[in-house]
């Protein structure tokens, strides 16, 4: 598919939005926020039918299922100029791990490589590829930002979300201690080793609370659900949102784990 050109001559790349299975099922608002940010950045957004990038199978040692899901993912998205996910974990899974799933398959080698080259995590796509430096959004509050592991270490996502957040009107960023330390989610890890996972997220929750921030942001819904769930269980009044929601000006919707009725309040 070719990029469309608007009447003013600007190129509109076609972006396939991979919403991720968690956003699809638990928090669709993140998908809409991502779509808005992409459209504001001059992209034409489409959401082809999709399931999962295969990471749960990959990290459970089930290579055959992973390979099958990767093939579906590539087939569904390879005609786009870019593939963007509001998750460093899923984008990292595709970009850094898909190639090894097809080793020894010469028919796939070039195809997978070409595909992976156009896969991006949302905030790094906006900043590094589209050159976005500010967003039109306001958020009245102090936020703290957790660096999710895969995005940080596999894709180098660290400065990009902070740059964009600095342009949000009314928003103050208060960094937490050990922002780049794992929250203990780890996909299936958190249910396979619940006690260890809990010990890790307890530390994270204490670091979040210590900032005095009223809002926790991150770029991965899995980590956010883990941290939000812990904060809520411990009785902290910290709202947890995906960074895309705040950047898209949708930060006042009910936060993760909040009842829908809250909407009217803010």
Partner 1 sequence: MSVEITTPRFKDNAKKALADLPLQGALSKVGPGFIGKRAAAAEKLPEFDALRDSARDIKNHTLAHLDLYLERFEAKAKEAGGHVHFAVDAAEARAIVTDICKRLGAKTVTKGKSMISEEIGLNDHLAAAGIQPVETDLGEYLIQIRGEAPSHIIAPAIHLNKDQVEADFRRVHAHLPPERDLSEPTSLLAEARGELRQKFLAADVGITGANFLVAETGTSIIVTNEGNGDLTQTLPKAHIVLASLEKLVPTLEDVSQILRVLARSATGQDMSVYTTFSTGPRRPGDPDGPGEYHVVILDNGRSSMLGGQLREVLRCIRCGACMNHCPVYHAVGGHAYGWVYPGPIGSVLTPALIGVEKGRNLPNASTFCGRCEEVCPMRIPLPKLMRHWREKEFERHLTPATQRFGLGVWGFFARRGWLYRPATRLAIGALSLLGRTKGRFAALPLAGGWTQHRDFPAPQGDTFQAQWRARQAERRAASGRGVH
Residue with Cβ nearer partner 1 (40 or 167) = 40
Contact 154, 92 (CB under 8 A): yes
Write the DSSP symbol of residue 262. G
**Are the C-beta atoms of 84 and 17 separated by less than 8 Å?**
yes
Q: Are strands 4-5 and 11-12 parallel, antiparallel or unpaired?
A: antiparallel
To partner 1, the closest distance from the beta carbon of 6 in angstroms equals 16
Q: Do the Cβ atoms of 143 and 213 come closer than 8 Å? A: yes
Whichever of 21 and 41 has its CB closer to partner 1, that residue is 21
For the chain, give the number of residues: 266
- Give the number of other Cβ atoms within 10 Å of residue 192's Cβ: 11
- Per CB under 8 A, residues contacting partner 1 are 19, 21, 23-32, 35, 47, 49-52, 54, 56-63, 65, 68-69, 72, 149-150, 153-154, 178, 181-182, 184-201, 225-226, 228-230, 232-233, 254, 256-260, 262
The rounded Cα 28 to chain-centroid distance in angstroms is 12
**Distance between CA 175 and CA 6 in Å, rounded?**
40
Of 142 and 181, nearer to partner 1 (C-beta) is 181
Provide the minimum distance between the beta carbon of 100 and partner 1 in the complex, in angstroms, as a whole number. 8
264: buried, middle or exposed (CB in 10 Å: 19+, 13-18, 0-12)?
exposed
Tell me whether residue 45 or residue 126 sits nearer to partner 1 (CB atom): 45
Residue placing its CB nearer to partner 1 in the complex, 92 or 249? 92
Whichever of 135 and 182 has its CB closer to partner 1, that residue is 182
Q: Nearest approach, Cβ of 149 to partner 1 (angstroms)?
A: 4
Query: Closer CB to partner 1, residue 40 or residue 172?
Result: 40
Shortest approach of partner 1 to residue 97 CB, angstroms?
9
Query: Considering the complex, what minimum distance in angstroms separates the CB of residue 220 from partner 1?
Result: 12
Please name the helix (run of DSSP H) or strand (run of DSSP E) that holds residue 145, with its range, or none.
strand 138-146
DSSP string spanning 181-200? S--S-TTTHHHHSHHHHHHH
- CA atoms 19, 209, 160, 247: torsion sign: positive
Query: What's the CA gap between 61 and 154, in Å, rounded?
Result: 19
Q: How far is the CB of 2 from partner 1 (least distance, A)?
A: 20
With 0-12 / 13-18 / 19 or more C-beta atoms within 10 angstroms meaning exposed / middle / buried, residue 88 is: buried
173 or 189: CB nearest partner 1? 189
Residue 141 beta carbon to partner 1: minimum distance, rounded to whole angstroms: 19
Least distance CB 32 / partner 1 (angstroms): 7
């Amino acid at each position: 598919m070719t990029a469309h050109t608007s009447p003013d001559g600007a190129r509109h790349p076609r972006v396939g939005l991979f919403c991720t299975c968690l956003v699809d099922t638990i928090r669709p608002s993140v998908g809409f926020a991502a779509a808005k940010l992409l459209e504001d950045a001059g992209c034409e957004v489409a959401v082809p039918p999709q399931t999962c990038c295969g990471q749960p199978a990959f990290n459970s040692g089930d290579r055959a299922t992973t390979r099958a899901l990767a093939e579906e993912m590539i087939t569904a998205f390879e005609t786009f100029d870019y593939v963007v996910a509001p998750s460093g974990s899923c984008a990292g899974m595709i970009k850094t791990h898909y190639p090894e799933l097809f080793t020894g398959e010469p028919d796939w080698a070039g195809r997978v490589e070409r595909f992976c080259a156009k896969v991006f995590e949302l905030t790094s796509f906006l900043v590094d590829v589209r050159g976005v430096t500010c967003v039109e959004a306001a958020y009245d509050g102090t936020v703290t930002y957790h660096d999710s592991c895969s995005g940080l270490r596999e894709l180098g996502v660290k400065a990009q979300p902070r740059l964009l957040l600095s342009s949000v009107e009314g928003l103050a960023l208060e960094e937490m201690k050990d922002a780049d330390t794992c929250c203990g989610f780890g996909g299936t890890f958190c249910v396979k080793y619940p006690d260890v996972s809990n010990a890790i997220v307890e530390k994270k929750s204490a670091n979040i609370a210590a900032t005095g921030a009223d809002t926790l942001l991150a770029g991965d819904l899995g980590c956010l659900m883990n941290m939000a769930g812990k904060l809520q269980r411990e009785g902290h009044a910290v709202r947890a949102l995906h960074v895309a929601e705040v950047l898209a000006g949708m930060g006042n919707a009910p936060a993760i784990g909040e009842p829908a009725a809250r909407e009217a309040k803010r």
